[in-house]
Amino acid sequence: MARLCFPLLVVQLLLLIAGVAGGPWQEFLRPQSDVDNDVIGTRWAVLIAGSKGFENYRHQADVCHAYQILKKGGLKDENIVVFMYDDIANNSANPRPGVIINHPNGSDVYAGVPKDYTGEDVNVKNFLAVLLGDKSALTGGTGKVINSSQDDHIFVYYTDHGGPGVLGMPTLSESLYANDLVETLVKKHLAGTYKSLVFYLEACESGSIFEGLLPANISVYATTASNANESSWATYCPGGREGEAPPPEFMTCLGDLYSVSWMEDSDVHNLRNESFELQYDNVKNRTLSWSHVMQYGDLGLNAQTLDIFMGSSDPANHSATVGSTDNSLGQLSSAVHQRDADLLYFWHKYRRSSDGMSEEARKELLEVMAHRSRVDKGIERIGGILFGTEAGPQFLTAVRPTGWPLVDDWDCLKSMVRAFEEQCGLLGQYGMKHTRAFANMCNAGVGPIAMPNLASKACAASTPSAF
């Protein structure tokens, strides 16, 4: 009995010597907690796929894969908010009903994914309300929000089509503009409801969402699939190289290059030992042949390890569950322009259609191509009216210097787009690439009052709808 009590007696004497209240021995004997590992409070995550339609399979596949990583890492469903239209897994075009894969040899990533906001509930208002933790601003969905505190870490992953200064949503009549997103992040920072936030963004011209806008002093670190003036890329597409093409029954791309790169990197590494900076370098090197992966905001946060935001699990087991078992993660040799992936799908759908369905598939393909042509010609004509047929295209595509935001007056940009769409039809996923043209008009002093007349002249032949 004396031998069992002796250690306790020694500890009591040391505590008395050091002073029980605040002494060094008290800190030494305190059980280790999340405070010591810089994981305080709760890990939160928001995952959003901003598209719909089987031609955009890859976006929801990306989100489902991201969910599996976080779930394996120990995050609870109550702390993961998922936005996805949810029209892929049980789509009649899906060759594996009820299943979604994100790699040619991958297993199902759809199983168990929470359906927090689906269908029309995937919208700008709900997304921003979830980020702010504002339940009163929600419409539909489960009502789940990021109810975080000052000690929490938040991970946000957004994958979709985009354009200069804008991100898509499934409802093509609305878009998320860069200034509204950044203003929401600033507002959340001012509310003191997080310790640090990491934002991964997959979209064309995704760098323009943060370029010249995201402050470096609000504890937000962001990486993007591309810089402010280039496309991002789809991968694991039909016609790809051996080992990179989807199973032959698939007619659509399974993932996005930037997205699968960071997720497959997460699958095969111990997230306790890998920093955001290291993952950024790995992803940048893997996508270097296609786009320039960028980082913005508080770059000091990239020294933190991934597990602080994503949790951590046995990488070997994780890899076997959702991704490739190849740990080398070399560069992918085949990819498709993000804005051309839908054309690829509709082409393969037409090519493989039976006699009874070929005419319908052909019509779909032609409608998509016609919409592209109408949008391009409408913008080209407006540029010609304003600046002349030779100078117009050059002016409308001009890129501002690095570090400058896309536009000085965001309200002007939004009004210009609305006025154009009222006369010419929705820009759609493809047409978002032209937001730079509208921004340049605003920067040159062309106000939205002039746009209805300009668009009417440019698009007088018809008023098409978006596809």
Asked whether residue 351 carries a pLDDT value surpassing 50, the answer given is yes
- Going from N- to C-terminal start, the domains of the chain cover 43-339, 369-458
The active-site residue, picked from 204, 253, 424, 459, is 204
In angstroms, the CA 393 to CA 382 distance is 10
CATH architecture of 369-458: Orthogonal Bundle (1.10)
Within 8 A by CB and 6+ apart from 335, the residues are: 233, 234, 235, 237, 257, 290
Q: Has 371 been annotated as catalytic?
A: no
Asked whether residue 140 carries a pLDDT value surpassing 80, the answer given is yes
CATH architecture of 43-339: 3-Layer(aba) Sandwich (3.40)
The active-site residue, picked from 161, 269, 371, 434, is 161
CA distances from 151 to 38, 146, 193 (A): 9, 13, 8
Asked whether residue 209 carries a pLDDT value surpassing 70, the answer given is yes
CA angle 424-139-84, nearest 5°?
70
Residue reference for tokens 């280039």: 230
pLDDT tens column, 390-416? 999 999 999 999 999 999 999 999 999
pTM of structure: 0.89
Q: Has 161 been annotated as catalytic?
A: yes
Asked whether residue 30 carries a pLDDT value surpassing 70, the answer given is no
In angstroms, the CA 165 to CA 156 distance is 18
pLDDT for position 38: 52
In angstroms, the CA 21 to CA 11 distance is 14
Tokens for 392, please give them: 């117009």
The mean pLDDT value of the chain amounts to 89
Helix, strand and coil content of the chain, in percent to the nearest 5, comes to: 45, 10, 45
pLDDT for position 138: 98
Asked whether residue 29 carries a pLDDT value surpassing 70, the answer given is no
**Would the CATH topology of 43-339 be identical to that of 369-458?**
no
Q: Which residue has the higher pLDDT, 300 or 36?
A: 300
Asked whether residue 321 carries a pLDDT value surpassing 80, the answer given is no
pLDDT band at 460 (very low <50, low <70, confident <90, very high): confident
Asked whether residue 34 carries a pLDDT value surpassing 60, the answer given is no
Asked whether residue 322 carries a pLDDT value surpassing 70, the answer given is no
Asked whether residue 26 carries a pLDDT value surpassing 60, the answer given is no
Asked whether residue 466 carries a pLDDT value surpassing 50, the answer given is no
